[in-house]
Structure 1
Amino acid sequence: MKKKIIILACSGLISVLSANAQNVKGHELSVFGDYGLSTLNYNSSLGDVKNGLGGSFGLDYTYYFSKSFGLGTGFGVSFYNAKSKIDRMDISYRSRDFEGSDFIFRSEITDYEEKQKTMMFKIPVMFRYRTSNDMFYAGVGVKLGIPVKSTFKAKNVNLKNTGFYEYENVEYDSPEFLGFGNFKRDSDGDIDFKLACIVSAEFGMKWKLSENIAVKTGVYVDYGVNNIYKEKPGNMFVSYNSLSPEKFVCKSVMDSRYTGTDGVAIDFVDKVIPIAAGIKLSFVFDLSK
């Protein structure tokens, strides 16, 4: 589905540029790059969240239907980063070992640090303004954000796994081949997000280098208006594998749960908003000249 949207959007942009190639009155094409705060904004029910830096690059096309006002679109690639830190969390749920015996799997995770990264394609629709002397510009509009690749990574995860067998009234902290004991593991994988609707604003100055080439310097703000978090089926943070117990899997805080003090499973995250703000540099080609 995402690939179809990207292909249609690119085809539409190419069609717009081609259709207007013969009538160059009031047309600008820009190659841009920006950098600054670029993060996945969310609150975790456990631990701390730190925002990250990132940026974007791409193409902007603007058709000016009057001397000062125009409508723009384009295509960009944005990179978002965030980090979650948790001093300690506990996992507890009923499971079954490879012999078919029921037990309560318990895991204590300490000093956990996870980094999340997301690459997103953006398709903007911007209403643009420029002063009569073409020195200052501003723009407001919306952008469709298409998550392409989202991942998480955690290094040296400290886990203490035990198994409590109620019929024996015994809690085992070994052997390791049953997944019980102290472990250090690296963990990584993919995260699945929904499409983002983003409101955007920018303003700055334009510096002419020649009759039809200029440089724009400015600032921008992008703010997601919808929650891109996908509801998950309630996976616990540590997934016990009864067939290969020593190969248990650690998931991301973005798609898992932990056990609260009352024994009830709690989601780490329930809302994720992409946010970006920073400086923008554009090389502008005035096609009307």
Structure 2
Amino acid sequence: MKTNNIKGAIKNTILRPVMVLILIGMSGKVLAQSNNEVSFYLQGSFSKLGYEALEQKNKLKNGFGIGTKYAYYFFENWSLGTGAELQYMKGSFSKSNIQGAYMSRDSEGEEFEFRYRAGNFSENQEVYFLNIPLQVQYESLGMTRFYAVAGVKAGFVLASDYQSLSTSLQTSGYYQQYDAELTEPKFAGFGEFGRVKNSNSELDLKTNIVAHLESGIKLILENKRSLYMGLFLDYGLNDIKPNASRERIIEYNNQNPTTYAFESLLSSRRDVIPTQHVEKVRTIAFGLRIQYAFEF
């Protein structure tokens, strides 16, 4: 009887630590399986549609983005992520005056050289992209971690438009056959037309392919939550310029010569050479991103 009690005691003495170790190992395995992360973020940026027109580059403007991201940790320090992001960008161009000339015909079929000069010309473009990213992330260990992200995004255009403005517009017609330049009558489209402003017009930009870089710190919070704070750079890899239009920046319309509007710099063709004013349009954005994440 005593022998049985001794064997039972030995058995319990051995089994209990073994069971504890097994449970610890199982719980550790369960914790290790927490390799999914979902996050939501907001970013503010300086951004632009990068291009050069009329021998002048455009300006940086403010932009923003909001998005959600899913990441799978295939190693403790490495994860692969994707998601969806709404990004807003603006382009802006201004010049004290633009002028040009090209051959046209008036309402009576007479050939003449149409001449124009627009003062304080400006054009603003706006675009909303739906970005789908594919990114790799590295992060260090600890409660405060360094992280770095690299990847690409496909940016699908949800909406894009432009608006143009000039404070003055002067036009004239030079008739070589008569060696005369007409600065009037106004009903023929010649004269001073004052302020000219376009309402928002569609700008048919192409799908954007973007290289994405990001780096910052990740703060580990309670209940498998974390907070990211970092800087990012989005650089467009391809030309998203719209297809060429047959229109010039300012087009003379012999059917309605008193009404003038501006075609976009990004799509309009030059006055004489049948090419566009803008050779390439690439996006660039950089700024701050704040991201809240949780694991499961």
Give TM-score, length-normalised by structure 2.
0.82
Structure 2 residue aligned with 1:147: 157
SS of the residue 2:222 aligns to: coil
1:34 match: 43
Aligned position for 1:61: 70
The alignment yields a C-alpha RMSD, in angstroms, of 1.9
Q: What is the number of equivalent residue pairs in this alignment?
A: 261
Paired residues for 1:111-150 under 5 Å: 111-133=120-142, 135-150=145-160
Asked if residue 85 in structure 1 is aligned to residue 94 in structure 2, the reply is: yes
Q: Is residue 240–residue 249 contact of structure 1 (8 Å, CA) maintained in 2? A: no
Contact 1:91 1:237 (8 Å CA) reproduced:
no
Give the Cα–Cα distance (whole angstroms) in 1 for the partners of residues 89 and 51 of structure 2: 13
Instruction: Give the one of 185, 208, 222 matched to 1:196.
Output: 208
Q: Are 2:294 and 1:282 aligned?
A: no
Contact residue 204 and residue 243 of structure 2 kept, 8 A: no
Q: Is 2:274 the counterpart of 1:269?
A: no
Structure 1 residues 98-130: Cα deviation after superposition (integer angstroms, max 9, x where no partner)? 222222211112221222222111100001112
Instruction: Letter of the 1:179 partner, please give it.
Output: G
- Aligned partner of 1:186 in structure 2 is 197
1-structure distance, mates of 2:48, 2:110: 45
- Which consecutive residues of structure 2, in runs of 5 or more, have no partner in the other structure? 1-32
Using CA pairs under 8 Å that are at least 6 residues apart, name the structure with larger relative contact order, 1 or 2. 1
Segments of structure 1 that go 5 or more residues without pairing to the other structure are 1-23
Q: Detail structure 1 runs of 4+ shifted over 6 Å in the superposition.
A: none
What is the Cα deviation at residue 265 of structure 1?
Answer: 6.4
Corresponding residue number in structure 2 for 1:220 = 232
Deviations 1:39-91 (A, max 9, x none): 11112233442111211111111011121111100000111122112222222
Deviation track 1:12-65 (CA, whole Å, cap 9, x = no partner) reads: xxxxxxxxxxxx731111110111211111122334421112111111110111
Out of 243, 248, 255, the residue aligned to residue 260 of structure 2 is: 248
Deviations 1:224-254 (A, max 9, x none): 1111113414531101111111123211211
Q: Quote the residue 2:3 is aligned against.
A: none
**Residue 173 (structure 1) aligned with residue 183 (structure 2):** yes
Identity %: 28
**Given the superposition, is the C-alpha separation of residues 126 and 264 from structure 1 closer, same or farther in structure 2, using an over 3 Å criterion?**
closer
**1:105 partner amino acid:** F
**Does the C-alpha gap of structure 1 residues 270 and 157 become closer, same or farther in structure 2, counting only changes over 3 Å?**
farther
Q: Letter of the aligned partner of 2:196 in structure 1?
A: R
In terms of mean alpha carbon deviation, does 175-184 or 205-214 score higher?
A: 205-214
Separation in structure 2 between the aligned mates of residue 248 and residue 113 of structure 1, nearest angstrom: 15
The structural deviation recorded for 1:193 is 1.4
More strand by share: 1
* 1:275 CA drift (Å): 0.6
The answer to whether the 8 Å contact 1:229/1:271 transfers is yes
Would you say the 8 A contact 2:203–2:242 is kept in 1?
no
- Measure the CA separation in 2 of the matches of 1:78 and 1:154: 23
Structure 1 position 181, deviation (Å): 0.9
C-alpha distance in 2 between matches for 1:150 and 1:269: 17
Which amino acid is 1:251 matched to? E
1:30 alignment partner AA: S
1:95 is matched with which residue? 104
Q: In 2, Cα distance between the equivalents of 1:251 and 1:200?
A: 32
In 1, Cα distance between equivalents of 2:91 and 2:60: 5
Q: What CA distance in whole angstroms lies between the structure 2 residues aligned with 1:237 and 1:191?
A: 14
Q: Give the 3-state SS of the residue equivalent to 1:193 in structure 2.
A: coil
Deviation at 1:163, TM superposition (A): 1.4
